[in-house]
A and B are shown apart, each in its own frame.
Chain A
Amino acid sequence: MQVLKGHVWKVGQDVDTDLIIAARYLNQSDPTYLAKHCLEDIFPKLNEKIKKGDILVAGKNFGCGSSREHAPLAIKHAGFSCVVAENYARIFYRNAINIGLPVIVSPETVKMTAAGDRLEVDLIKGIIRNITTEQTYQSETLPPFMMEILEKGGLIPYVSEKVKADV
């Protein structure tokens, strides 16, 4: 997977799935529709302002709450290339990998990064560079099988290959 580059949108800690995509929009599951309402109670009209590839930086326990996969889908389809957080709620983390949204754990980056900074994320090496402040951080890399899922574009393409191999 390529190196990701974008401007930072920053949110605080314990940002829950209702804030990422409110239940009032869950009567539909079309990703483009969900993306329109992504994080709207924090950043109204985010979808009009975001530039493709931008990076969401968050505090601890990002994505806590519901199991709705609509949350990582909304983030991905809003145009974010990845999320960098102090840590994640379990189901959100798993869902993000499964749908092919890279999620990086780096408390240092979160601390030293401001909204609007430009970041460069090398997923394979786990290196995050803040281009604005010229600082570099090393994050933990993903376990190889999760990296493989991401490279295949998510869990479904990964599993369907196995299904084909079984036949």
Chain B
Amino acid sequence: MGMTITEKILAEHAGLKEVVAGQLINARLDLVFANDITGPLAIKEFKKIGVTSVFDQSKVLMIPDHFAPAKDIPSAQQCLEIKRFAAEQELVHYYEVGRCGIEHCFIPEQGLVVPGDVVIGADSHTCTYGALGAFSTGVGSTDLAVGMARGEIWFRVPESIKIILHGKPKNRWVSGKDYILAIIGKIGVDGAQYKTMEFAGEAIDDLSVAARLTMTNMAIEAGAKNGIIAPDEKTISYVKERAQKAWRIYQSDDDAVYERIVEIDVTDLQPQVAFPHLPSNTKPVSEATDVKIDQAVIGSCTNGRWEDLLEAAEIMKGHKVHPEVRAIVIPGTQDIYLRAVKEGLMETFIEAGAVVSTPTCGPCLGGYMGILAKGERAVSTTNRNFVGRMGHPQSEVYLSGPAVAAASAILGRIGTPEEVAQCKY
């Protein structure tokens, strides 16, 4: 019987010829990581297991990014805990602030994950790496502790949903974020619960690796266990430049079994906006243009990559951020930050009147660097607009891609790059 990419990767890591959806397996892990929020809990649990060292010092990674550089004393304490653990265990991959960035931007950028890997991270957006043809999924701190100790973990092989995107969008600003928002809008926040979302079709083939990472990043917002995209030439050239280890390419068989196939034609798709308080509450941007905003955030593991910043800068260049708006731009990693400095993007953002921050999760989860007051509204390129996600429980977050967020920063309300082009300021 045919297998999907996900099934093939899991079978290989379980030492089996074949697996089927629903089967319980133990899979070998190629990378296990946690951050400053989930790490301390994982370390506490790890210490109770009764082993003295992690299974492989080169495959366990700790990264301070959520509340780092530390926003307050308790956060500093949490950052210190993961740093100490990394030193004690002599982990190869520990990165201090200033040498890393947001985990899901940094890990693929550095070639620490490659096609064919099985990865767990104590962070729900670990599903991001599926864009490279790896199986990756978010777990809690206890599972992570066991992964660090044993180098393997149990999984139930997920059913797969195939999502085929046809066509070429007529609107040049429509990209990965709009696709994934449209998909979540269609299938709902539990539309892929416990399942694999396998993305395919010509619209996916046309996307950059960065835009594909944006899509698999948000698979969790439909409840999925993982998102995955078959590697192609673009993937291979992305990986070749950075891989720190050997990779293995898998493709789904023609007769692989899918629980469901969802097809969407993107030809006439408009940029999408997810209204509060669920990522599935999506509407075309034309239905959002009377929403006034107080803050625009461009960044996060969803849209903090080079391509995202470039798009935002193109729109903001020569314009000023609306007088009543705070625009906050956060490059995903130090490398992206440096490139943005060298290539003049920073100048554009600062001249427009935006704040530019060091890489951090910051406002995405209501940490710091742009918390919303009661009644305030933000448009944001992040991935969740739950109640209170970016601050006060009575604030609101509207999710969009970088083009709409940048345009909205200038307009003072949700809007499009076309409207900015006609704008005097």
Contacts from A to B (Cβ < 8 Å): 14, 16, 18-19, 22-24, 26-29, 41, 60-61, 64-70, 72-73, 87, 89-91, 94-95, 98-99, 145, 154-157, 159-160, 163-164
Whether the Cβ atoms of A155 and B189 lie closer than 8 Å is no
Whether the Cβ atoms of A14 and B190 lie closer than 8 Å is yes
Q: Does B245 contact A (CB under 8 A)?
A: no
> 5 tightest A-B contacts by CB?
A95-B140, A69-B140, A27-B74, A98-B142, A61-B190
Residue of A nearest to B124 (CB): A67
Report which of B126, B139, B384 forms a contact with A65, defined as CB distance below 8 A: B384
Whether the Cβ atoms of B50 and A29 lie closer than 8 Å is no
A21 to chain B, nearest CB (A): 11
Residue of B nearest to A69 (CB): B140
Distance between Cα atoms of A68 and B45 in the complex (Å)? 14
Interface centre among B24, B44, B124 (most CB of A within 10 A): B124
Whether the Cβ atoms of A159 and B146 lie closer than 8 Å is yes
Distance between Cα atoms of A164 and B38 in the complex (Å)? 26
Whether the Cβ atoms of B190 and A60 lie closer than 8 Å is yes
Whether the Cβ atoms of B37 and A68 lie closer than 8 Å is yes
Q: Which residues of B contact A156 (CB under 8 A)?
A: 45, 48-49, 142, 145-146
Task: Using known A-B contacts A29-B44, A159-B49, A160-B50, determine if residue A65 contacts B124 with beta carbons closer than 8 Å.
Answer: yes
Distance between Cα atoms of A81 and B143 in the complex (Å)? 22
Distance between Cα atoms of A91 and B226 in the complex (Å)? 11
Whether the Cβ atoms of B388 and A18 lie closer than 8 Å is yes
Whether the Cβ atoms of A94 and B139 lie closer than 8 Å is yes
Whether the Cβ atoms of B387 and A89 lie closer than 8 Å is no
Cβ contacts A to B, 28 pairs, < 8 Å: A14-B189, A14-B278, A18-B388, A19-B386, A22-B366, A23-B365, A24-B367, A27-B37, A27-B75, A28-B74, A28-B78, A41-B388, A60-B190, A64-B189, A65-B384, A65-B386, A67-B139, A68-B38, A90-B193, A91-B124, A91-B220, A94-B139, A94-B140, A98-B140, A99-B140, A157-B48, A159-B149, A163-B50
Residue of A nearest to B393 (CB): A41
Distance between Cα atoms of A126 and B296 in the complex (Å)? 49
Q: Does B399 contact A (CB under 8 A)?
A: no
A77 to chain B, nearest CB (A): 13
Contacts from B to A (Cβ < 8 Å): 24, 37-38, 40-41, 44-45, 48-51, 66-67, 71-72, 74-75, 78, 122-124, 126, 138-143, 145-146, 149-150, 189-190, 193-194, 220, 223, 225, 278, 365-367, 384, 386-389, 393
Q: Which residues of B contact A94 (CB under 8 A)?
A: 139-140, 143
B194 to chain A, nearest CB (A): 5
Q: Which residues of A contact B141 (CB under 8 A)?
A: 69, 95
Whether the Cβ atoms of B387 and A19 lie closer than 8 Å is yes
Whether the Cβ atoms of A163 and B367 lie closer than 8 Å is no
Whether the Cβ atoms of A90 and B278 lie closer than 8 Å is no
Whether the Cβ atoms of B150 and A159 lie closer than 8 Å is yes
B21 to chain A, nearest CB (A): 14
Whether the Cβ atoms of B140 and A61 lie closer than 8 Å is no
A155 to chain B, nearest CB (A): 5
Whether the Cβ atoms of A90 and B194 lie closer than 8 Å is yes
Task: Using known A-B contacts A61-B190, A156-B48, A159-B149, determine if residue A27 contacts B72 with beta carbons closer than 8 Å.
Answer: yes
Given contacts A27-B75, A98-B140, 20 further A-B contacts (CB under 8 A): A14-B189, A14-B190, A14-B278, A18-B366, A18-B384, A18-B389, A24-B366, A26-B37, A26-B66, A65-B384, A66-B123, A66-B365, A89-B190, A90-B223, A91-B124, A91-B138, A95-B141, A99-B140, A156-B146, A163-B49
Distance between Cα atoms of A157 and B146 in the complex (Å)? 11
Interface centre among B49, B78, B122, B150 (most CB of A within 10 A): B49
Report which of B71, B143, B190 forms a contact with A87, defined as CB distance below 8 A: B190
Whether the Cβ atoms of B38 and A23 lie closer than 8 Å is no
